Homo-oligomer: A and B are copies of this chain.
Amino acid sequence: MAQHPEFRSSLHPPLDLSHHFSQTTKNRQSSNVKGLYKWFQIPGMQNVAGGLPHESYFPYDTLEAAAARPSRFDLPDSSKGKNNKPAEWHVTVPKIQDTTDILKKIDLSTALQYGTAEGYPPLAAFIRKLTRDHLHPNIPYAEGPEIIMSCGNTDGFGKVIEALTNPWNKTRDWIRDKEGVLFEEFAYMNAVQTVQPRGLNIVTVAVDADGMKASGPGGLADVLENWDFSQGRCPHLMYTVTLGQNPTGSTTSIERRKEIYALCQKYDIIIIEDEPYWNLQFPSSRKHAAKYRGDAVQADLFNRNYNAHGRSSGYEFLDSLVPSFLSIDVDGRVVRLDTFSKTIAPGCRLGWVTAQPAIIERIARITETSTQQPSGFVQVMVAQLLLQQQSSPAARKATDKDNLGWTLDGWIQWLEGLRDAYERRVHDMCSTLEEGRTVAIDKPAPAAKHRRAPSNGGLDSWSVVSKVPMYDFNWPLAGMFIWIKIRYDTHPLLEIYGAEKVCKALWLFLLEKPFLVLCAPGTMFAPTEAIRGRASKYLRLCFAPMAEDAVTDISQHFVAGCRAFWQLENFDDIPGLDDPIMPEMMGMQMC
């Protein structure tokens, strides 16, 4: 889809937000490397300036892969599998591709050479167009955003934090200089651990099923209006995962986004939107949930990425997604993080940052003195997967005419197939959890203790069968996670052990035979000590890591484990219950 210059030209440019830049970021010199191009481009110019090894010294003559066709997920089950021929083709990156068009030159002589911070030109150009014209066709500031390739979202976030925060040291800095970052009250700890060592305030905002709350107790307005300046500056950054939030699985509607964005404008806050799960949205979850819960099927309340007032992405699938904060970002105060970790593979360490040009320019300067660029190995393999041309030597040699890159159409087809596959997983896990959610116990529910004993009964009469829920959860509308609220209040041993110990005992009990289920304890997602107690009442389940046909079985193991746990007479046989509260879990990364 072509750019619509008339759309952009009616818009205001993004605000100058350079007052958010850290001192280190302000100090970085502008790079004028482009000034050199005028000489590089002169035919016959011999470059003895750069310390670039000649490509004949690279020990790789090609890079190749057997790769999926974008239709792999759409094939009938019988033809799927890890090495089935129909869904596979051969990607080949030659040593030298004869073209002077740097956007079409996909070869090892360029990809394995030093490159530019923005990314490998053919890939960066593809991502830039994808981002500006298709993922977010309605970004409301003039000229639109820029992108820069990153080594995944953790790297992208690290650079954004470097760009926008000054470290604070209590032994030498004034409290008034202490900066703060807003997080969901249950959050991805790796992001928290990026911020925390810099000595900044970690400020939590209450969440509900729609993600971060704008209003109400503990909501964003409450936090900002009642900011205690004795703790430092009012937070000027927000970290948020709005789609399939990690760990709660929540999804933030466009209405909620508008409320939050207005507050961020009022308090001059930059929003860092980390969206690894954005493509994994599950519209069917509401319908399936309603079947079990007996709720009426809710109307889909979300505005979509495309609506009557906006421009289409050009793809029905992309139009159906919940729009990014970028879609309402009139000020240019949104920095968005995207990654290939969940759409290709985590080991790529490849993603991109999208924001107004002045912010991307500063991140490029940071990149030049840190990662320089993502590895050429992954950049070129992804570029060729998407863009392999018929005219490449490899393709010319091929016996079939089918060795063409996925192109944009193929990428979108892949994403939709992937989404469908995860949607089946959500269904399998959530259905199993729904069906096993209650347990019959032959002891009274704890609530019974507040009732008067029946006048005609002795001890025996307490021993009625009672059906109680063991956990609550919401069907996720996106992402990879189900956030399980442990109903410790229904456990017969609550009064003996207390809530926290019941929850810890459940986590440990599930690890034992025959259940053997390793869940993520809620404490792993507590950004502050204040949240820790509340977080300990949750478990996070992920429906991604197992084979697709194992989701139901593993979910049944979980249910069976819970059921057995609710039948326990005591916790005497649970190993580790009196150890410190799972300290090793605090360091678990990359989840």
Contact = CB atoms under 8 A, between A and B. Distances in A.
A377 B517 CA distance: 31
Nearest to A344: B59
A248 interface: no
A546 B584 CA distance: 53
B114 A346 contact: yes
Contact of A66 (B64, B65, B586, B590): B64
Most central of A158, A174, A345 by chain B CB within 10 Å: A345
Interface string A53-65: 1111111111111
A103 B342 CA distance: 25
Interface stretch (A125-133, A189-197, A488-496): A189-197
A299 interface: no
Interface in A321-368: 341-342, 344-350, 368
Interface in A75-99: 82-83, 88, 95-96
A447 interface: no
A502 interface: no
A517 B48 contact: yes
Interface string A527-560: 0000000000000111111111000001001100
A62 B65 contact: yes
Contact of A377 (B35, B68, B377, B543): B377
Most B CB atoms within 10 A — which of A117, A349, A373? A349
A211 interface: no
A176 B56 CA distance: 51
B584 A370 contact: no
Contact of A548 (B54, B167, B557, B584): B54
B166 A546 contact: no
Interface string A27-46: 11111111110011010111
A60 B381 contact: yes
A111 interface: yes
A555 to B, nearest CB: 8
Contact of A591 (B44, B49, B177): B49
A458 interface: no
B589 A53 contact: no
A112 B166 contact: no
A216 interface: no
Contact of A547 (B54, B82, B421): B54
Contacts of A111: 347
Contacts of A544: 51-54
Interface residues of A, number: 131
B346 A375 contact: no
Contacts of A72: 59
Given A33-B587, A545-B52, A591-B51, A57 B421 contact: yes
A193 B345 contact: no
A66 B542 CA distance: 38
A591 B50 contact: yes
B371 A47 contact: no
A348 B112 contact: yes
A385 interface: yes
Nearest to A49: B520
A589 B63 contact: no
Interface string A565-591: 000000000000000000111111111
Nearest to A512: B42
A344 B51 contact: no
B372 A371 contact: no
A112 B61 contact: no
Nearest to A93: B65
Contact of A59 (B34, B385, B589): B385
Contacts of A557: 46
Contacts of A418: 57
Given A23-B167, A32-B583, A46-B517, 8 more contacts: A33-B588, A49-B519, A57-B421, A60-B66, A62-B65, A112-B346, A113-B345, A371-B371
The 6 closest A-B pairs by CB, nearest first: A347-B376, A35-B584, A31-B587, A112-B347, A112-B345, A375-B375
25 contacts: A22-B167, A23-B167, A23-B171, A27-B198, A27-B199, A33-B589, A35-B587, A36-B585, A46-B516, A49-B518, A50-B545, A50-B590, A52-B346, A52-B542, A53-B342, A59-B414, A60-B68, A63-B64, A108-B345, A112-B345, A112-B348, A155-B372, A158-B370, A371-B371, A377-B377
